[in-house]
Homo-oligomer: A and B are copies of this chain.
């Protein structure tokens, strides 16, 4: 699997690389916690790094978004292969369930991302490359409706991501309910 690359470059020197990674990790947490307008100074603090270092690595907030987003997408794509040998319907719905839990944290980022960017297009492509085979396998096997697109499904599921549920059980139940509309049988 080819890793997606980003506009910003991972530095060459060892200490710089440590800081770079720490910043992305801190940003992931901060964005999930406080939304897309989390304080950059706070992120630098969490990473144990000066604010100057943050700006050197990520000149704009967008750059940070993209770096975090890309790392999440890469992780998600990996899941797709791990469900590949399940039966068609199970594989698809397992991946979508996983998608939900991952998507929860990156919601704020997606909202804020510049959706026109080249990098966003690449991520989209990578994600579709991961999920589409599962989807089409389901359609070929006749267990998935043929009159909807994978895009429709992803957007539906990612919507459920941000709904407020009483507990995880309810989220599962609702996801199942929504997927029942997708299933043939």
Across-interface contacts of A156 in B (CB, < 8 A) = 160, 163, 174, 177-178
Main secondary structure of the interface of A (DSSP, over half): helix
Q: A155-B165, A180-B181 are in contact. Are A148 and B173 (CB under 8 A)?
A: yes
Across-interface contacts of A48 in B (CB, < 8 A) = none
Q: Can you name the residue of chain B whose Cβ is closest to the Cβ of A174?
A: B156
The distance from the CB of A157 to the nearest CB of chain B, in whole angstroms, is 9
The answer for the CA separation of A96 and B164 in the assembled complex, in Å, is 17
Chain A, 139-167, contact with B by CB distance < 8 Å: what is the 0/1 string? 00000010010011101101111111110
Judged by a CB distance under 8 angstroms, whether A33 is at the interface is no
The answer for the CA separation of A173 and B153 in the assembled complex, in Å, is 10
B159 engages A163 (CB within 8 Å): yes
B158 engages A170 (CB within 8 Å): no
Judged by a CB distance under 8 angstroms, whether A182 is at the interface is yes
B152 engages A174 (CB within 8 Å): yes
Interface centre among A153, A170, A181 (most CB of B within 10 A): A181
A155 engages B148 (CB within 8 Å): no
Judged by a CB distance under 8 angstroms, whether A94 is at the interface is no
The distance from the CB of A171 to the nearest CB of chain B, in whole angstroms, is 8
A162 engages B162 (CB within 8 Å): yes
The distance from the CB of A179 to the nearest CB of chain B, in whole angstroms, is 7
Across-interface contacts of A166 in B (CB, < 8 A) = 151
Across-interface contacts of A160 in B (CB, < 8 A) = 156, 159-160
Q: List 22 A-B contacts (CB under 8 A).
A: A35-B35, A111-B164, A145-B177, A148-B177, A151-B166, A152-B177, A153-B177, A155-B163, A156-B160, A156-B163, A156-B174, A156-B178, A158-B163, A159-B159, A159-B161, A159-B163, A162-B163, A177-B178, A178-B178, A178-B181, A180-B180, A180-B181
